[in-house]
Amino acid sequence: MSINKINSVNGVNEYAKMNSASQTRKTDITDSISISNEALSRSEQKRIIEMIKAAPDVRADRIAEVKAKLAANPNYFDDVTAVSETADKLMNDLM
């Protein structure tokens, strides 16, 4: 008994090799992304929150400033103007 071949295996492989080589093309298309304004603002908010969390709770420069004022004038807090200015600054910072 003999089976006649319709197409040889080599013929199919050669056809596939020719097509794959001829289909390869170089393109100048580059990938790009676009970010919405909402995403940008949320990213900025997250960055600011992280900066705030990383900041120390105590500002050494302000403490040194108050210590210097007390050393220069021990009655600094007895001065009504100084206390009023300090209270105003605190209120402005809180608002």
Tell me the backbone φ, ψ of residue 57, rounded to 5 degrees.
-75, -25
**Cα(16)–Cα(11) distance, integer angstroms:** 9
Q: What is the pLDDT of residue 66?
A: 83
Q: What is the pLDDT of residue 15?
A: 52
Residue 37 Cα distances to 33, 34, 42, 43, 48, angstroms: 13, 10, 9, 10, 17
Residue 4 Cα distances to 15, 16, 24, 49, angstroms: 21, 23, 35, 78
For Cα atoms 66, 68, 74, give the angle at the middle one, nearest 5 degrees. Answer: 85
Q: What is the pLDDT of residue 2?
A: 62
- All residues at 6 or more sequence positions from 70 whose CB lies less than 8 Å from its CB, including other chains: 76, 77
Q: Residue 57: which H helix or E strand, with range?
A: none
What pTM did the predictor assign? Answer: 0.33
* pLDDT tens profile 11-26: 555 555 555 555 566 7
